[in-house]
Amino acid sequence: SQTIHQWPATLVQPVGSPLSLECTVEGTSNPNLYWYRQAAGRGLQLLFYSVGIGQISSEVPQNLSASRPQDRQFILSSKKLLLSDSGFYLCAWSRSASSYSNQPQHFGDGTRLSIL
């Protein structure tokens, strides 16, 4: 069966510090990978989307970046965090979509990021 691991579960960082959140998927190959941010009590905002190694689509201009160095590894980074970067960050995977069909997305447990 497939599993998704995301860590850390919580993180408190000072403004201006760097960030690295990691997500790995097991039990499948060539998944689509996603990074979302969820503000408290709000919906999901898609940040980055990847269909393969080294292929990253950025959905929202910001001071965050994403990388996919391996097939089942997705990393969210920042060089300098802002107060507005606080939130709940969720990694998700889905099977590759064919044409315009969609596959269910499976989410990790998320990282609660607080910027001080």
Partner 1 sequence: GQQVMQIPQYQHVQEGEDFTTYCNSSTTLSNIQWYKQRPGGHPVFLIQLVKSGEVKKQKRLTFQFGEAKKNSSLHITATQTTDVGTYFCAGPPTDSWGKLQFGAGTQVVVTP
Contact 19, 76 (CB under 8 A): yes
Cα–Cα distances in Å, from 111 out to 87, 89, 98, 103? 8, 5, 30, 23
Nearer to partner 1, 15 or 97 (CB): 97
Nearer to partner 1, 50 or 78 (CB): 50
Q: At its nearest, how many Å lie between partner 1 and the CB of residue 71?
A: 16
Q: Which residue ranges make up the site for partner 1 (CB under 8 A)?
A: 32, 34, 41-44, 46, 49, 51, 90, 94, 96-97, 100-110
Report the sign of the C-alpha dihedral through residues 67, 60, 6, 77, in that order: positive
Q: At its nearest, how many Å lie between partner 1 and the CB of residue 45?
A: 8
